[in-house]
Structure 1
Amino acid sequence: MKKIINAPDQIVEEMLSGIVRSYPKIVTRVEDTRVVARVKSSEQVGLVSGGGSGHEPAHAGFVGDGMLHAAVLGDVFTSPTPDQVLEGIKAANANQGVLLIVKNYTGDILNFDMAKELAEMDDIEVETVVVDDDIAVENSTYTAGKRGVAGTVLVHKILGAASRAKRSLQELKTLGEEVVAQTKTIGIALEAATVPEVGHKGFELAEDEIEYGVGIHGEPGYRKEKIKPSKELAEELVTKLLEAYEETPKEIALLVNGMGGTPLMEQFVFMNDVLDLCATHAIHVRFTKVGNLMTSIEMQGLSLTMLDVTTHPEWVDALEEQVTTIAW
């Protein structure tokens, strides 16, 4: 295992310290916690997300004006504990209520729900939006139902704009559920990641093999086969995503998300092929984003997220709003 670290059991603490010391004008660390919060806040509904570390820049990279108010970090690929999530809720609370944006993994659901109950005992009004955008498989490792993956970042962005516009907690919850319902993601892996404290790759693929539908923790997908040109990979992923909608979207937002070990060069090649396919289907692409936004440590691969904005042009406006974060 080759990694630029000191001790595997200190990697999250040292990473967290590095984040807040690198960007002190944007984020701060809540003392004695693993919570990253905004340096400056205002009277609006607080947005809190988080989960296991190893998905950087998610979620701390999206804390700041226009997106999240706080992010809670767990150990690598492990949910943060309820007491840590509670500290995130308190940090985000500006007496307007707090909305939790939670990826659909069993540990995250249980721990965020428990934190919600604890916060309500402290008279903080809390609601939850669960993101389950991964259409590849259901009831996989770590989860019951569909997994929450890179589409979560688009939810952060749209809800961040709504919070900044002083929308109410209930309005944000309804909006979040509407966005999640129109968000679909599917991914591919070329090579697995190595969790530092484990010391070996999470799964094995042959040199010329890929896996469709793999999760952001290395959970299994739905098929392995020989690697194909980008155009053919794009065709499979676009086809699967379009089939997941009841009606083919007329207007969409697209996110090509790198899993950590795939160069931007290859991500842009892939997006180019996706855009060609959308043109073939007469689908108007209103918004695009390319980059490493929700990774799986150094996994080689990428995911494609599609958001149907046909009847919601205001979502495009929200995606295009300027924000002050580390990573958007």
Structure 2
Amino acid sequence: MTERHVANPSSVPSLRIPTFEDVQTARVRISGVAHHTPVLTSRTADARTGAAVFFKAENLQRAGAFKFRGAYNAIAALDGLSRLNGVVAYSSGNHAQALAYAAKLQGVAATIVMPRDAPEIKVAATKGYGAEVVYYDRYTEDREGISQRLAAERGATLIPPFDHPDVIAGQGTAALELIEDVGEIDVLVVPLGGGGLLAGSALSARALLPACTIVGVEPEAGNDGQQSLRKGEIVHIPVPKSIADGAIVTHVGHLNFPILKDCVDDIVTVTDAQLVEAVRFFTERMKVVVEPTGCLAAAAVMHGAIPCAGKRVGILLSGGNIDLTALSALLGQR
């Protein structure tokens, strides 16, 4: 992929769209800090799908989600003055926790703008890692505007959850590990919110396995990425409502979309009911906790939204941050 630059500074900083070389650089930066998470298999999942399925367990990553990879990489790439001035981010939870933890490990102050209705477990973890939390109303206030104002007032660096080259590159290391661990796969299926994980994963998969089919998965209520890919331009939607709280976004990132358009074959959706079933499957059958957002890719494969029979399929389980009360309520649904 040739190097390009975003020419829309009013909506996003003029930053370089990352390449696979940036993913490789990110792996060096996060090596020995981020977990090299395991790949899980299940005979039940294989029988149900007719495929050989490999689950990359980012729910077992530090801070409970793949987000730690991009957050740590983005902070590690800062110069000394930027580190002294701290970082600002906005997030519904997993990027918040990841950036707070990554900042703490590197001695950098962090301020996180979070929605008032963010899961309490994610808010508590973010504060527990030492970050300052600033609340906003996700349905009436602009989190990006609030974060940009805070960053300007404090001279801090804004590190958004998905629309940042070092974040995208860091997220791409998960798929890189998966492919290196299991070898050739025919299909790679990745959760999609703002597009950081899918874009980074696509960079790795296209470089290592050019023939691999790459599919993103969104909640049915928030299919902005699907609409964008089919229209060929970024589509904005109202704030969606879904139990996949980590994928509640109104549009994909400006840095992410060119990669998605060039590298991703399709984007499909799943319902909240299918996500609940997937959460139950991982809890009851595989004995691991995966949050609803983390189940997006798995739900699509297990419900036949993607043709997978007879193929080797890599699935990213993006996170496992769900409190016991919410998990119990989901498992009780029939």
More helix per residue: 2
TM-score, scaled relative to structure 1: 0.29
More strand per residue: 1
Q: Which has the higher contact order (CA 8 A, sep 6+)?
A: 2
